[in-house]
Amino acid sequence: MDPRIYNAPTKNTWCAGCGDFAILRALKLALAEQVIAPHEVLVVSGIGCGSKLPDYMNVNGFMTIHGRPLPVATGAALANPELKVVVVNGDGDSYGIGGNHFLHTCRRNPNITHIVENNQVYGLTKGQYSPTSDKGYVTTTSPDGSMEMALNPLAVALAAGSTFVARGFAGDPKQMAQLIVAGMQHNGYALIDVLQPCVTFNRVNTYDWYRSRIYKLDEMDETYDPSSSEAAWEKAHEWEERIPTGILYNREGIPTYEDQVIQLRDNSPLKGTLSLWDDPRPEQYESLKEQFV
């Protein structure tokens, strides 16, 4: 499939050199490779620079509010499991204001692929520190350097029960596309945290900064076993000198949330609603009155 089918006629407003361009490209490549038509996918985002992504695509897109794309996507995925649901949002959106939803989505395991544009900064609000900013990072709201430990999203995801955990780099859209394909093929929640340089506000974590540290897990160690939670846990804690990219953890065979919902076996809320539209069948509820007698 030609990835240009996902192009939208809208004008892009990201800064030149922004890592988000590569993420947009990688998502298009991944969809094309899987031959998913634009109307079959729903991309849900929050608010932030990165969350503008659905505006630049020809797919079903829902740009929601800051921090809330995961529950919106969960509702959509539960109501219509036929939709391929992808969430794209920033590190602030995902791990800060939306942190609670992130935790619970990991353990809930809905069939959602979650791409986090992690630039370690708040881009849209012009450069404040984010939950993933390294300790000591100086910004307008942390003039003396941030005093909090950086959140380790991959370790949190593992601890919270996520069944697929990966890291990508915006300097490598090909690898990223592979990760997105793998995440979408994974049955369940898939977290893909993407190191995404913000060329305007983050002068520390630049392309060079990342390039000098990252290595590809599968290239480095052909025997790396992504089904091992111990190995993943160890790799998730590598950061300062060496930063692994690729699939850290992939555990198949765990039922998704949707798999366990008995009501979804024959029908979906959407189909249920649509069939009633044509035929409301009031008599089907009559027997319920007996429990009140």
Partner 1 sequence: MTEKTVNDLSIMIGGDAGQGVESSGAGFCLALARTGLQLFALQDYRSQICGGHNFYEIRISDRPLYSHREPIHVLIALTPESVALHLDSIAPGGAVILPEKFEIDEAPLKERGISVDSLPLMKIAEEHGNRLMLNTAALAATAALTGFPLEYMEQVIRENFGKKSAELADTNVAVARAAHELAMERFGEDFPFRIEPPKKATKRMLMNGNEAIALGALAGGCRFVSAYPMTPGTSIIEFLSALPHEYGVVAKHAEDEIAAVCMALGASFTGARAMTPTSGGGFSLMVEAVGLAGMTEVPLVLVDAQRGGPSTGLPTRTEQSDLLFTIHASQGEFPRIVTAPTTIEECFEAGWRAFNLADKYQCPVIIMTDTFLASSLRTLEMDAIDFGRVVIDRGATVKSTDVDGESNGYLRFRFSDDGISPRALPGRGTATITAASDEHDETGHITEDSDNRVRMMNKRMQKLETARAEMKSPILYGPKDADLTLVCWGSTFGACREAVDEINAEGGSSANVLRIIDLWPMREEEVREALESCKRRVLVEQNYTAQLGKLIRMTTGIEMDDTLTKFDGRPFSPPEIKQRLGLEAGSGNEVGPKDLQRADQEYVVRRLR
Neighbours of 151 (CB within 10 A): 18
Q: Interface residues for ligand TPP in 123-162 (CB under 6 A)?
A: 123-125, 130
In the complex, the smallest distance separating the C-beta of residue 117 from Mg ion, rounded to whole angstroms, is 6
CB 110 within 8 A of CB 102: no
Can you tell me which of 30, 44, 54, 91 binds Mg ion, judged by CB under 5 A? 91
Burial readout 261-287 (b: 16 or more C-beta within 10 A, e: otherwise): eeebeeebeeeeeeeeeeeeeeeeeee
Residue choice 26, 53, 78, 194 for contact with partner 1 (CB under 8 A): 78
Helix (H) or strand (E) holding 119: none
Contact partner, 49, from ligand TPP, partner 1, Mg ion, none, Cβ < 5-8 Å per class: ligand TPP
- How many residues are recorded in the chain? 293
Q: Out of 24, 45, 50, 171, name the contact with ligand TPP by CB under 6 A.
A: 50
Among 23, 27, 42, 49, which residue sits at the site for ligand TPP (rule: CB under 6 A)?
49
- ∠ CA(181), CA(183), CA(188), 5° rounding? 140
119 binding Mg ion? (CB under 5 A)? yes
**Which residue in the set 100, 140, 141, 206 belongs to the binding site for partner 1 (CB under 8 A)?**
100
Does the protein bind ligand TPP through residue 171 (CB under 6 A)?
no
Strand blocks (E) in the chain:
41-45, 60-63, 84-90, 112-118, 121-122, 128-129, 164-169, 190-195, 214-216, 243-250
CB of 130 to ligand TPP, least distance (A): 5
Residues between 62 and 121 that touch ligand TPP (CB under 6 A) = 66, 90-93, 117, 119, 121
State the Cα torsion 62-68-74-77 to the nearest 10°.
Answer: 0
The distance of Cα 11 from the centroid of its chain, to the nearest Å, equals 24
Provide the binding-site residues for partner 1, judged by CB under 8 A: 8, 10, 37-40, 42, 44, 47, 52, 54-55, 58-65, 68, 70-80, 82-83, 100-101, 103-104, 261-264, 266-270, 272-274, 276-277, 280, 282-286, 288-289, 292-293
